[in-house]
Amino acid sequence: MTIEITRTGKDSLFIDTPVMPAAGTFGYGDAYRNIVRVEKLGAVITNPVTYQPWHPANGTRVIPLDAGVLVHTGLPNPGISKVLSQYRTMWSRMPVPVIMHIVATTPDQVARCASRIEAEEVVTGIELGLNDDTGSQSAQDFVKAVLRNTQKPLMVRLPMQDAYELAEPVAQAGAGALVVTAPPRGTARDPYSGRLVPGRVYGPLIRPIALRMVGHLARRVDIPIIGAGGIHSPQDARDFIEAGARAVQIDSVTWIEPKMLEIIARDLGGLTVTRASDALADEWYLGMGESTLARRRESMRAEDD
């Protein structure tokens, strides 16, 4: 299976499996090396990177919600130069394309990021993350700033708040694909400090809202859409494909059940694991078949009798 996930042209991006991690959920590609077999994924999207280093936000970072979580980080990262020097070698060994997520800070900084990436063979493409409250004009400026400085394929991740408004302008400006959408911004009360904390909201309830956006926008824009938002199972991922997405990004479930990322990728890649007994050695995953613990439990039960 080969899937073209950006608009057709000489710089189009092809992947083998229509599943990849969302920026911010998979680090720079090696954090889950003992859990997720990266070669089963379509691509790796890096954590968000800015031109300059960014420091972590102050105050409360995490507020548990019902079936979800609000996270507030301030998007800390050591800046693009440090990230490239630290991960270049590791990325050169990646079995799948590496797509760098860059944050739309200013068109100038974004342009510099793009030209830095243009020089890096190990990076296959760019994902540009637009901030909430970005207007159409400004979004187009960001896209053009990237495209003027690189030939690499460009995906643009739309903020949920303005996805409907930005989709067409961003496509017109030349983006190769749209990621619909980033986790929405929210505010929640920190039960300890008593303060209202801003952040991003993650969890399964985001999914129906994102799925509706994907279904809606897939009929309106003529570049590929990559669906994202609260996907927590293979069926969820297939729903996005059915609604019109060319591929999907998996977000916070990777934090909670990292193996789920690979399970979804195998499923949509046509490698569904259905039974323990038929599984190839490398297809075993948690909960499948025999284990020493299962035997230990049996002996516990035998002692009870």
Partner 1 sequence: MIAQLTDAMQQTQALIQRVRRINAHFQHVDLGIEEQLGDIKPGQSLLVRQTQDWQPYLREQWWPVRIAPNLVVVERPGHIKYEPGEFISVLGPVGSFFRFRRSLRHVLLIAYDTPPTPLLSMIPLLIANQTSLTLVLLGEAAAYQTDHLAGQVEVIHGGADLEWEHRIMTVGLADQVFAVARPDDEIRRFGDIWRMFAELRADIRKNYLFGVFQSIQPCGAGVCQACMIRLKQGTALTCVEGPTLDLSQVQL
Ligand X SMILES: Cc1cc2nc3c(=O)[nH]c(=O)nc-3n(C[C@H](O)[C@H](O)[C@H](O)COP(=O)(O)OP(=O)(O)OC[C@H]3O[C@@H](n4cnc5c(N)ncnc54)[C@H](O)[C@@H]3O)c2cc1C
Ligand Y SMILES: Cc1cc2nc3c(=O)[nH]c(=O)nc-3n(C[C@H](O)[C@H](O)[C@H](O)COP(=O)(O)O)c2cc1C
The angle, 0 to 180 degrees and rounded to 10, between the axes of the packed helices 136-147 and 163-172 is 40
Residues facing residue 158 across a β-bridge? 180
Q: Does 57 bind ligand Y (CB under 6 A)?
A: yes
203 binds, among ligand X, ligand Y, partner 1, none (CB under 5 to 8 A by kind): partner 1
Nearest residue to 153 via CA among 1, 15, 304, 300? 15
**Residues that bind partner 1 in the complex, under the rule CB under 8 A:** 24-27, 30-35, 47, 55-56, 61-62, 64-69, 71-73, 75-76, 192-193, 203-204, 232, 252, 254-259, 286-287, 291-293, 296-297, 300-301
Site for ligand Y in 88-127 (CB under 6 A): 105
Long-range contacts of 200-203 (CB under 8 A, 24+ apart): 200/70, 200/71, 200/72, 201/65, 201/68, 201/69, 201/70, 202/68, 202/69, 202/70, 202/71, 202/230, 202/251, 202/252, 203/65, 203/67, 203/68, 203/69, 203/230, 203/252
Work out which of 15, 243, 263, 265 binds its own copies, going by CB under 8 A.
243
- Gap between the Cα atoms of 54 and 60, Å rounded: 17
206 binds, among partner 1, ligand Y, its own copies, none (CB under 5 to 8 A by kind): its own copies
Q: Look up residue 175 and give its two tokens.
A: 């983006």
Work out which of 21, 42, 47, 54 binds ligand Y, going by CB under 6 A.
54
Q: How many CB atoms lie within 10 A of CB 276?
A: 13
CB 92 within 8 A of CB 122: yes
Work out which of 59, 64, 74, 289 binds ligand Y, going by CB under 6 A.
74
- Gap between the Cα atoms of 52 and 112, Å rounded: 10
48 binds, among its own copies, ligand X, ligand Y, none (CB under 5 to 8 A by kind): ligand X
Q: Does 186 bind its own copies (CB under 8 A)?
A: yes
CB of 191 to its own copies, least distance (A): 9
Nearer to ligand Y, 105 or 136 (CB): 105
Q: Applying CB under 8 A, which residues contact its own copies?
A: 65-68, 70, 133, 161-162, 164-165, 184-189, 196, 198-199, 201, 203-209, 211-212, 215, 235, 239, 242-243
